[in-house]
């Protein structure tokens, strides 16, 4: 809701990551093999593969098995206008998306992944296509009065997060004990953890939690008021975007160009609105370069 999600599963590779400034000089091995970059190859074969984590509403398969969600539907529009007819999905756990991209299992991450400086050391992000705030899912009436991560830290509250998610890092940095942070592979399993009493709250984007709660009408839970976490006095601004291999400059540039067109012509909101996004979630003029600085 994302992605929203942190670099924890991939932190070990940071020491050897290529600096952002060097991205443009990186040689694309795919280009050497085919005589063209990833964009040219995708146009030639007629499809592009995207990685997704089956997290609604960002990227998931519906009951019919169709890949859909905010990011895949945006991908279909952008890539079609770039001359690529088909978008094919490769599902992996969220924590494995960056590794899958680097291993060339797919050519872009279409999962609502948050732009963070740590991730920017590993992949190249397109400019953001949405912004998001954080919230908690709690029992109705919010009996423990959880409003922010600091509340969870003070009250020794067990918080559920998704594997590899930024909320894990937020909770840790804001004082929640490691033993009180429970990780789950996806939203349904986190919901079941809350239902079973294994955790006291789920921390995720408001959009993701609202989507989860909508699937459980009448359930004895509610969402807290959305907020932006602050760490060391600095707001942790959440913005989601597509991620690419650093070498794929042609693909990144083309994608950003089409995304800019969609923003300028007011075509972005109609694409993402069916998945719970509103004008408040539009990214405005924020850029990946700005967000990679932290």
Integer-rounded Cα Rg, in Å, for the chain is: 19
> 71 with 253: CB under 8 angstroms?
no
Give CA–CA dist 160/189, Å, rounded: 10
pLDDT digit of tens for each residue in the chain (294 aa)? 444 444 333 333 333 333 333 333 334 444 434 345 999 999 999 999 999 999 889 999 999 999 999 999 999 999 999 999 999 999 999 889 999 999 999 999 999 999 999 999 999 999 999 999 899 999 999 999 999 999 999 999 999 999 888 899 999 999 999 999 999 988 899 999 999 999 999 999 899 899 999 999 999 999 999 898 999 988 887 899 999 999 999 999 999 999 999 999 999 999 999 998 988 889 999 999 999 997
**127 is written with which tokens?**
């400019």
Phi, psi for 139 (deg, rounded to 5): -60, 150
Q: How many CA atoms lie within 13 A of 64 on its CB side?
A: 3
- Burial of 72-84, coded b for 16+ CB within 10 Å and e otherwise, reads bbbbbbbbeebeb
- Burial of 229-244, coded b for 16+ CB within 10 Å and e otherwise, reads beeeeeebbbbbbbbb
Q: What residue spans in the chain does CATH classification 3.40.190.10 cover?
A: 8-130+237-284, 134-227
Give CA–CA dist 290/294, Å, rounded: 7
The terminus-to-terminus CA distance of the chain in angstroms comes to: 19
pLDDT of residue 270: 98
Burial class (CB in 10 A: 0-12, 13-18, 19+), 89: buried
> Which architecture does CATH list for 8-130+237-284?
3-Layer(aba) Sandwich (3.40)
> In DSSP terms, which residues pair with 223 in a beta bridge?
137
The dihedral of CA 164, 170, 176, 177: what is its sign?
A: positive
Q: CATH 3.40.190.10: does it fit domain 134-227?
A: yes
Other CB atoms within 10 A of residue 119 CB = 27
């Amino acid at each position: 809701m994302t992605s929203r999600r942190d670099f924890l599963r991939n932190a070990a590779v940071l020491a050897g990551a290529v600096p952002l400034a060097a991205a443009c000089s990186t040689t694309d091995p795919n280009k050497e093999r085919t005589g063209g970059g990833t964009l040219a190859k995708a146009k030639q074969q007629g499809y592009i593969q995207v990685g997704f984590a089956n997290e609604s509403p960002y990227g998931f398969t519906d009951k019919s098995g169709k890949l859909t969600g905010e990011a895949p539907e945006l991908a279909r529009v952008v890539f079609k206008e770039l001359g690529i007819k088909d978008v094919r999905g490769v599902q992996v756990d969220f924590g494995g998306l960056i590794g899958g991209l680097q291993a060339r299992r797919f050519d872009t991450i279409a999962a609502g992944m948050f732009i963070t400086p740590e991730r920017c050391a590993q992949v190249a992000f397109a400019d953001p296509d949405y912004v998001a705030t954080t919230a908690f899912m709690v029992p109705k009436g919010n009996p423990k009065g959880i409003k922010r991560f600091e509340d969870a830290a003070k009250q020794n509250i067990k918080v559920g997060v998704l594997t590899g998610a930024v909320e894990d890092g937020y909770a840790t940095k804001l004082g929640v004990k490691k033993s009180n942070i429970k990780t789950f592979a996806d939203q349904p399993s986190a919901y079941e953890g809350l239902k079973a009493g294994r955790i006291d709250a789920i921390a995720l984007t408001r959009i993701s939690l609202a989507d989860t709660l909508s699937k459980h009408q009448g359930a004895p839970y509610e969402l807290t008021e959305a907020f932006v976490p602050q760490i060391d006095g600095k707001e942790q601004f959440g913005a989601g975007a597509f991620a690419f291999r650093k070498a794929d400059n042609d693909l990144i540039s083309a994608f950003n160009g089409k995304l800019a067109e969609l923003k300028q012509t007011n075509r972005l909101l109609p694409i993402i609105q069916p998945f719970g996004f509103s004008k408040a979630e539009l990214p405005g003029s924020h850029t990946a370069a700005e967000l990679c600085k932290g």
